[in-house]
Amino acid sequence: MRTVIPIQVVQVDAIIDRWQANPEFAVEMLQDVQGRFRHLPKDALARIAERCGTDLGRLYHIATFFKAFSLEPKGEHPIQVCTGTACHVKGSARTLEAFGRELGIAPGQTTPDLKWSLDGVRCLGCCGLAPVVTIGPDLLGGVDSSKAGKLMRRYRKRFAAQASPEASGDGDGAEGDGDA
Amino acid sequence: MPKVTVANLDAIAAAARQRHQGWKAMLMVCAGTGCVSARSLPIRDALREEIGRRGLEREIKVVATGCNGFCAHGPICVVQPDGVFYERLKAEAVPELIESHFVRGRPLEEFLFRAGDGERPVPLEKDIEFFAKQQCIALRNRGKIDPEDIEDAIRAGAYQALKKVLAEGIEGDELVRRIVRSGLRGRGGGGFPTGIKWQSCLAAARQRGVRPYVVCNGDEGDPGAFMDRSLVEADPHAVIEGMLIGARALGASEGFVYIRLEYPLALQRLRKAIAQAREWGLLGADVMGTGMAFDLTIHQGAGAFVCGESTALMASMEGRAGEPRAKYVHTVEHGYRDRPTVLNNVETWANVPQIVRNGPEWFAAIGTGDVSQSPWNGSSGTKVFSLVGSVRNSGLVEVPMGITLREIVFDIGGGIPDGRTFKAVQTGGPSGGCLPDSKLDLPVDFDTLVDSGSMMGSGGMIVMDDRTCMVDVARYFVDFLCEESCGKCAPCREGLVNLREVLTRITRGEGREGDLELLEDLGAALTDGSLCGLGQTAANPVLSTLRYFRDEYEAHIRERRCPAGVCKALIRYSITEDCTGCTSCVKVCPTEAITGERKKLHVIDQTKCIQCGTCMDVCNDDAVVVR
């Protein structure tokens, strides 16, 4: 039998408690699990099924139905290239390919060191700024394919600085890179 | 904080107005998602700091508002009450702005709107072409209130309509009749008359003796549409008030808002607004001290386009995968938890308080047709569109129904930028279609758009220029729908995959004679055979582009040519003599296909080129061309 890592049970239980173990909030629980673990660990799904009195199959149905969920771990810094219509007509397919070349992975994949993952995502609702990309917490507008290299250099440096102990922790928000 | 009652709402609003008028000026800084990403929050902080430094903090207030709508020009700040509009602000320019505007009494020209380079600045928001033709009902408070402060919303008129129905005892059939008479039709895309939906729900609830539910659809899955996000970010109380009035009409005591997880700011503002409404006695067991019980719960969507469909959305709210079911029985009779359920879109709910407050006849007088006999006879009121793509002024616009596409694209939108020419406007998202130049003078309403092969949809309006390939656009939407089809019924699941296969073949230059007829056959099968709206409308992007841009399909098949220069297998990039030899493209080319020395003409080696287009994106001299 699988052994459940105890720390996860505590974390998963906290999530289940947040939604009062109500199976109507199964989607929300999975969102929280995805947010915390960057994927849906088997054990977490089993725990939710057990505590909410719902069957595991139903949770897997949800987990594989909605785009927000992944059964494989995603990267520490997700990069999302918006593929909504406005972004598409402004060349987001080229932007997505450019980030793929920078990271050496295809859309939907995660780098082997689990640092980065790249996805083409549904409309982010910032169509006036197309093409739009999110890198970690930042939303950037006007990102055509020629800007991918520069942005990756900047964010590699920034995330490396944040990871080191003397990081200034300048939690500065999103940064517009040129106009849209 | 005070508990708001029917008796004291006006006094609370008046007191808030009086405090409001005490300010000499207000700096309304846009804090919608677009402007925040363009760093509007540091500007807000810099304004506060500068105002404090000059000791003006008792005269000038800085307010972070919801989305202004003119997102491409962010960060935006509007100075009220005079209405001076500043765009593309920079934090470092804030001291100069305050000095110029408030000390010297002259707007700082550098950050005023201009229709183009070298054009005269337009200081006032109301004079800017983008805003001039708009008429705001759903977005009436955008940029005018602090969306995180319920008192500010009350000052601007929130909950007056609710007070009216509670104080005057308007409820049930009478309240539903008013919505019917207004002609309001669903803003989520379908255009079903809201009042008739409410009537059916009320009848079902009475017949079965159960309490119905009211639900707000904020899933907004259409790519290229962001009006719901913007509305919730700018004025969440309009949605809450609309739902309270719906609950009053139908006798509901519980309501739900289903909203996409991709909209974190909208979720956060709505949570805060609901919490404040509870504290102020506008939600809960005793709404406005009248004994009415109503409360709201938020459900978060997890990324599935089909969840905009009523039965799929309700399945998701019940904690299941969001798959639709056949609607032999409608959700107004058996919906969420099998109870009668009214599901309306964010924008629809936001219109309800204004209809109640100003009267259904006022609303019916705006728009097209005569809805006095039936809401099906016209399209009344306004519609919010996200005007985006290849258009000079892109952003969110609210216009009266019946305005022409040309007025929206060319008058409000300012036409096509970069010297390109108009090719098509796409409306209705993946269920809609692409309309060409010859359809630009059509009035925009529910029925006209359907007749011409598109649809209103939730309000995405994507302008395309001559660089957009219509075959690629059709393939793009079919790709999207292939991903989003839940797979439950065969016509949608298999039909879309086959459409994709044929379209992909054409974009690769492998199209065959007979492919276009095959697309039309497949499209007809999808339309007739699918279970839910997703499949029934899925062929529209293909059929409408075939109808209006058939020559472009034929060029791909017969001449192996992509006239717009998009389909990779059919295009070549080359560098013209306009090249100044700046080496920018040499540096970014991922395959080192470009050679050239500084100040000399560069050349692309076609054997190495992978058609990524990065050289064209980076070129400042428009010297990279695609054929």
> Per-residue pLDDT tens for A57-90?
999 999 999 988 999 999 999 999 999 989 998 9
- Residues in CB range of A135: below 8 A, 6 or more apart: A77, A79, A151, A155
Q: And the tokens for B588? A: 């970014």
Asked if B41's CB is within 8 angstroms of A26's CB, the reply is: no
User: Tens digits of per-residue pLDDT, B508-561?
Assistant: 999 999 999 999 999 999 999 998 888 999 999 999 999 999 999 999 999 999
Name the H helices within B508-613: 515-529, 533-537, 540-548, 550-558, 584-588
Cross-chain Cβ contact A140/B389 below 8 Å: no
Residue with tokens 């990779």: B568
pLDDT at B105: 92
- DSSP H helices, B183-263, are 194-208, 227-234, 236-250
Measured distance CA(B384)–CA(B318) in Å, rounded:
30
Q: Do A94 and B71 touch (CB under 8 A)?
A: no
Token pair for B202: 């009320």
Task: Please report how the helices B172-182 and B194-208 are oriented relative to each other, as an axis angle in degrees rounded to 10.
Answer: 160
Instruction: Label residues B235-273 b or e (16+ Cβ within 10 Å = b).
Output: bbbbbbbbbbbbbbbbbbbbbbbbbbbbbebbbebbeeb
Can you give the pLDDT at residue A8? 78
Q: Which of B86, B94, B92, B80 is nearest to B25 (CA)?
A: B80
Question: Residue B436's closest CA among B470, B386, B460?
Answer: B470
Query: Which of B440, B357, B330, B454 has the alpha carbon at shortest distance from B391?
Result: B440
The pLDDT score that the predictor gives to residue A1 is: 45
Q: Identify the closest residue of chain B to A120 by CA–CA distance.
A: B480
Which stretch of DSSP H or E encloses residue A117?
A: strand A116-121
Residue numbers in B near A60 (CB within 8 A):
none
pLDDT at position A180, please?
Answer: 32
Contact B222 A145 (CB under 8 A): no
Calculate the CA B37 to chain-centre distance.
18
Amino acid, single-letter form, for residue B465: D
Number of C-alpha atoms within 13 angstroms, CB side, residue B152?
21
Contacts of B340 (CB under 8 A, 6+ apart): B201, B204, B205, B208, B210, B212, B213, B332, B333, B334
- Kindly list the residues from chain A whose CB atom is less than 8 angstroms away from the CB atom of residue B303: 66-68, 122
Cis peptide before B95 (omega within 30 of 0): no
Which portions of chain B are predicted below pLDDT 70?
Answer: none
B29-55 pLDDT, tens per residue? 999 888 998 899 999 999 999 999 999
In this prediction, the residues of chain A whose per-residue pLDDT falls under 70 are 1-7, 165-180
DSSP bridge pairs for B28: B63, B78
Please list, residue by residue across B283-318, b when 16 or more beta carbons sit within 10 angstroms of its beta carbon and e when fewer do: bbeebbebebebbbeebbbbbbbbbbbbbbbbbbbb
**Amino acid B64: pLDDT:** 94
State the number of CA atoms in the 13 A half-sphere of B490 facing the CB: 0
pTM of the model: 0.91
CA B300 – CA B262 distance, rounded (Å) = 9
The rounded radius of gyration (Å) of the Cα atoms in chain A is 18
- Is residue A139 a contact partner of residue A180, using CB atoms and an 8 Å limit? no
Distance from CA of A118 to the nearest CA of B (A): 16
CA-based nearest distance A169→chain B, Å? 16
Chain A residues whose CB is inside 8 A of the B220 CB are 125
Residue to substitute from A85, A94, A101, interface B, most B β-carbons within 10 A = A85
Interacting residues of B11 by C-beta distance below 8 A, sequence separation 6+: none
Q: Which member of B71, B300, B318 has the closest CB to residue A126? A: B71
- Cα distance between residue B327 and residue B336, in whole Å: 13
Q: Which residue of A has its CA nearest to B90?
A: A176
Which of A20, A123, A134, A175 to probe by mutation at the B interface, max B CB count within 10 Å?
A123
Chain B: closest CA distance from residue A74 (Å): 16
- All residues of chain B having their beta carbon less than 8 Å from the beta carbon of residue A65 are 304, 321-323, 486
Q: What is the pLDDT of residue A7?
A: 62
CA distance B339 to B210: 7
Instruction: Compute CA distances A168 → A137, A162, A172, A176, B270, whole Å.
Output: 17, 7, 11, 21, 33
Residue type, B414: G
Burial class, B129, CB count within 10 angstroms (exposed 0-12 / middle 13-18 / buried 19+): middle
Nearest Cβ partner of A94 from B39, B390, B612? B612
**Are B308 and B219 contacting, i.e. CB atoms less than 8 angstroms apart?**
yes
Compute the nearest-CA separation of A143 from chain B (Å). Answer: 10
Per-residue burial over B447-478, b if 16 or more Cβ lie within 10 Å, else e, is: bbbbebbbbbbbbbbbbbbebbbbbbbbbbbb
Cα–Cα distance, A7 to A14 (Å, whole number): 11
B333 vs B324: CA distance, rounded Å = 16
Contact A128 B303 (CB under 8 A): no
Q: How many A/B residue pairs have CB atoms within 8 Å?
A: 184
Q: Residue B36 and residue A94: Cβ atoms within 8 Å?
A: no
Q: What is the pLDDT of residue A172?
A: 40
From residue B521, alpha-carbon distances to B296, B403, B525, B542 in Å are 46, 34, 6, 11
Name the β-bridge partners of B255. Answer: B214, B296
- Rg of the Cα trace of chain B? 26
B71 vs A128, A144, A175: nearest CB: A128
Count Cβ neighbours within 10 Å for each residue of B194-226 and write b for 16 or more, e otherwise.
Answer: bbbbbbbbbebbeeeeeebbbbbbbbbbbbbbb
Identify the CA nearest to B457 among candidates B547, B544, B362.
B544
Q: What is the DSSP string of B9-73?
A: HHHHHHHHHHHHHT-SEEEEEE-SHHHHHTTHHHHHHHHHHHHHHTT-TTTEEEEEES--S-GGG
User: Environment class of residue A166 by beta-carbon count within 10 Å: exposed (0-12), middle (13-18) or buried (19+)?
Assistant: exposed
Tokens encoding B395: 């952003």
Strands B382-389 and B422-427: unpaired
Contact B573, B614 (CB under 8 A): no
Element spanning A82, H or E: strand A77-82
Q: Would the CB atoms of A130 and B321 count as touching at under 8 Å?
A: no
Sheet holding B213-218, edge to edge: B284-287, B292-301, B254-260, B213-218, B341-345
Contact list in A for residue B263 (CB cut-off 8 A) is 125
d(CA B247, CA B82): 39
- Is residue B185 within 8 Å of B192, Cβ to Cβ? yes
| pLDDT in the model for residue B437 | 94
Q: What was the pLDDT predicted at B400? A: 96
Q: Which residue of B has its CA nearest to A21?
A: B319
Taking alpha carbons only, the member of B188, B74, B65 closest to residue B130 is B74
